[in-house]
Amino acid sequence: MIKNLLSGKDFILCYKTINTAIIMKITTILLLTLVIIFITVTLTLAQPGLPGSPEQTPIDGGLGILAALGGSYAIKKLRDKKQD
């Protein structure tokens, strides 16, 4: 029935229009897919730079006093244990 409706030139023109529409859809889908992949890869690989060197703080002041008090407390506990 379609052959009866379309003569030779009309059929070729219709065929080219359909092919052009299909090619446009495929091109659009392919382009959108590539853009989405590019954005996804860019976002997943975007990492902050390396951190700078940490600030070195000497162990003195409050932490040194705390260590000395902990040591003296341990010695006291050992002496108390020997006396019992």
Q: Is the pLDDT of residue 1 over 50?
A: no
Reference 2, options 19, 17, 16, 14; nearest CA is: 14
Q: What is the pLDDT of residue 7?
A: 55
Q: What is the pLDDT of residue 70?
A: 94
Between vectors from CA 8 to CA 6 and to CA 9, what angle results, nearest 5°?
95
CA 71 to mean position of chain CA atoms? 47
The string of DSSP codes covering 34-50 is HHHHHHHHHHHH--PPP
What tens digit of pLDDT does each residue of 12-39 get?
Answer: 556 566 677 788 888 999 999 999 999 9
pTM of the model as a whole:
0.40
What tens digit of pLDDT does each residue of 46-78 get?
Answer: 777 777 777 776 666 788 888 899 999 999 999
Alpha carbon distance 25, 38 (integer Å): 20
